[in-house]
């Protein structure tokens, strides 16, 4: 494929942002003790009678306490919490019956690391809370060395002070001199690939001679709380360095597909892909499908052309494979970055991508902007969720991340979730709803109009309902049937022309916790659908905002040449000194 590959860009420096005072957030912790209730009977009944009556209502493990006027217990397996509560409250001998709510100590603060430049990382934490709530998520986990994220890019500076401890080492090629014995010890087809592979030069040294991959790696997993530099979404993680983009920022489909297959074969759970360009490639799509079949998520940059990818496809983010998550970029005010692509049906969510401070080769740090910078935030969030919940399936991680976004007016109608990444939300215990069918206008009056959705929970999902209303009238409800892989479905009956249908999904878990999805809308009409309006291969390395087209050409081209050539010159000088 002949593609001019130009990486994403440096933006202006940001002033330091001081951490806001610690504020406890309980919204994503369990609301109730699953399946437990508290009941108070009227004084006219004795304890033995009350206990027997409660058992008849379907409550087991009944507990009475000295000098306490209520009884607690757990509902029997297969019983519905709300039905048991309703039955108890209908009993004339009951004063009240309610869930056994879970309470929390309020002195526990978010976790702030001691990294030198943490105050510059608005993307992780800032005073206006337009961030991904990383410190709140770090209350629950700071990551795991058991989660491998492949950075498929220009390589990584694996000797960087803020990355070295988190670099993945291939266990089959490490120890006892295996790193340099010129033998394919693990039989994977790559000789001495003890820390990844360089698919351009066909060797075991995937060192970053451009800068882009090292920056992305730092966003995912710069070492946390080490008193140095920056911190990634994960303090602990394993970063697999896979180099297929060269010092000029370009690469080929064949090398990209090979890197994807390598990542899937060698244990990467998350593949971070901050690149794009060219047309649709069957070889690349097949490689992504291969990764899907081996349980890996493929996180992809939506692109930097400011276009609607529903009508102007960007690859690889537009491939219709179930493990692909397409990521747009937002700024520190929760606005869509001026360069970012978008698409109601082909872009999933936004993440911080304007003026992001992270690692740079040769032990340095820098600001860069682009959907390339947004993508590793989502890759890092998926890794952090997997660290907290290691038993999750890939789709369950995806649903948590997509279902946990902070919805923003700027993004509604411009991407599938209508929201910006919030990794703290993704750690929650209430039901998560995502990947719901978003109907377009249709002339079909016969129906039904099938709606599917994905729902996951830290416990079990007790029921999922489809709520719909016609022309703003009273709502009707359908039970959504459970299928495989946490997918639920129902069909809205056919309607006459000029009927507007609004619908949403309600999910309830075994603890009685509820989540209501956003509302979707479509119309039964014979008129054409109006549409949705309006890595980085194919993108400029330096994206400078506020210039007209002629000025951008005059200024950005020389700057990009400097950006590409300077790391090469510095690297050569550094190697000569060594």
Closest CA to 538 of 201, 258, 279: 279
- For residue 60, the model assigns a pLDDT of 83
Do residues 37 and 59 make contact, with C-beta atoms less than 8 angstroms apart?
A: yes
How many other C-beta atoms lie within 10 A of the C-beta of residue 63?
Answer: 13
Do residues 85 and 97 make contact, with C-beta atoms less than 8 angstroms apart?
A: yes
- For residue 537, the model assigns a pLDDT of 36
| Tokens encoding 41 | 């009977």
Residues 441-524, CATH architecture: Sandwich (2.60)
* Whether CATH 3.40.640.10 fits 118-427: no
Residues 6 or more apart whose CB falls under 8 angstroms from that of 483 comprise 452, 489
Per-residue HEC secondary structure of 483-500 comes to: CCCCEEEEEECCCCCCEE
131 noted as active-site residue: no
Q: Do domains 32-101 and 441-524 have the same CATH topology?
A: no
Instruction: Report the alpha-carbon distance of residue 395 to residue 401 in Å, rounded.
Output: 10
Positions in the chain whose pLDDT score sits under 50: 1-25, 107, 533-578
Out of 120, 131, 133, 153, the active site residue is: 153
Out of 125, 160, 212, 292, the active site residue is: 212
215 noted as active-site residue: no
Do residues 5 and 249 make contact, with C-beta atoms less than 8 angstroms apart?
A: yes
* String of DSSP letters for 261-305: HHHHHTT-SEEEE----SS--HHHHHHHHHHHHTT-EEEEE--SS
Q: In what order do the strands lie in the sheet with 487-492?
A: 432-434, 449-456, 487-492, 481-482
| Tokens encoding 368 | 């860069």
- For residue 23, the model assigns a pLDDT of 35
The full length of the chain comes to 578
Do residues 463 and 481 make contact, with C-beta atoms less than 8 angstroms apart?
A: no
DSSP helix/strand/coil, 37: strand
What does the pLDDT look like over 364-377, one tens digit per residue?
999 999 999 999 99
- For residue 500, the model assigns a pLDDT of 98
Alpha helices in 73-142 (DSSP H): 81-90, 134-138
Out of 372, 454, 504, 517, the active site residue is: 372
- For residue 50, the model assigns a pLDDT of 79
The domain segmentation of the chain, as residue ranges, is 32-101, 118-427, 441-524
Write out the CATH class of domain 32-101. Answer: alpha beta
Beta bridge partners of 524: 442, 499
372 noted as active-site residue: yes
């Amino acid at each position: 494929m002949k593609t001019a590959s130009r990486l994403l860009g440096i933006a202006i420096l940001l002033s330091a942002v001081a951490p806001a005072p610690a504020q406890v957030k309980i919204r994503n912790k369990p609301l109730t003790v699953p399946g437990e209730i508290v009941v108070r009977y009227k004084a006219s009944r004795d304890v033995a009678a009350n206990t027997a009556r409660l058992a008849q209502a379907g409550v087991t493990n009944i507990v009475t306490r000295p000098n306490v006027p209520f009884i607690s217990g757990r509902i029997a397996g297969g019983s519905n919490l709300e039905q048991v509560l309703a039955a108890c409250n209908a009993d004339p001998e009951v004063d009240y019956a309610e869930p056994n709510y879970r309470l929390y100590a309020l002195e526990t603060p978010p976790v702030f690391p001691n990294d030198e430049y943490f105050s510059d990382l608005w993307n992780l934490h800032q005073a206006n809370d337009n961030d991904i709530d990383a410190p709140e998520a770090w209350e629950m986990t700071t990551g795991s060395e058991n989660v491998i994220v492949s950075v498929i890019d220009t390589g990584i500076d694996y000797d960087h002070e803020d990355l070295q401890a988190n670099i993945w080492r291939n266990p089959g090629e490490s120890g006892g001199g295996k790193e340099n014995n010129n033998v394919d010890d693990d039989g994977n087809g790559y000789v001495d690939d003890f820390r990844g592979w360089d698919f351009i030069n066909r060797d075991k040294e995937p060192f970053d001679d451009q800068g882009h991959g090292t920056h992305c790696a730092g966003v995912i997993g710069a070492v946390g709380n080490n008193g140095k530099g920056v911190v990634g979404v994960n303090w602990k993680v394993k970063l697999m360095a896979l180099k297929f983009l060269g010092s000029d920022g370009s690469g080929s489909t064949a090398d990209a597909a090979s890197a994807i297959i390598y990542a899937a074969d060698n244990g990467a759970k998350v593949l971070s892909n901050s690149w794009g360009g060219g047309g649709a490639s069957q070889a690349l799509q097949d490689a992504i499908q291969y990764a899907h079949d081996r349980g890996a998520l493929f996180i992809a940059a939506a692109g930097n052309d400011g276009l609607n990818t529903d009508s102007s496809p960007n690859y690889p983010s537009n491939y219709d494979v179930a493990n692909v998550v397409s990521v747009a970029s937002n700024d520190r005010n929760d606005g869509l970055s001026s360069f970012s692509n978008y698409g109601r049906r082909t872009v999933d969510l936004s993440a911080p991508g304007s003026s992001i401070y992270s690692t740079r080769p040769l032990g340095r740090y820098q600001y860069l902007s682009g959907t390339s910078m947004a993508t590793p935030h989502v890759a890092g969030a998926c890794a952090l969720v997997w660290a907290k919940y290691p038993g999750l399936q890939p789709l369950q991680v995806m649903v948590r991340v997509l279902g946990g976004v902070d919805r923003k007016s700027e993004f509604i109608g411009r991407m599938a979730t209508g929201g910006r990444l919030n990794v703290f939300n993704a750690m929650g215990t209430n039901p998560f709803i995502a990947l719901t069918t978003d109907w377009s206008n249709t002339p079909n009056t016969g129906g039904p109009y099938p709606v599917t959705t994905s729902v996951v929970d830290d416990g079990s999902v007790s029921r999922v309902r489809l709520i719909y209303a016609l022309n703003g009238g009273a709502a009707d409800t359908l039970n959504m049937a459970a299928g495989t892989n946490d997918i639920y479905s129902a069909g809205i009956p056919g309607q006459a022309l000029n009927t507007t249908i609004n619908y949403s999904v309600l999910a309830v878990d075994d603890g009685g916790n509820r989540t209501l999805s956003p509302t979707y809308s479509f119309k039964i009409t014979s008129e054409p659908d109006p549409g949705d309006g309006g890595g980085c291969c194919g993108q400029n390395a330096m994206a400078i905002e506020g210039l007209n087209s002629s000025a951008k050409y005059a200024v950005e081209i020389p700057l990009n040449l400097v950006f590409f050539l300077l790391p090469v010159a510095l690297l050569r000088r550094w190697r000569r000194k060594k």
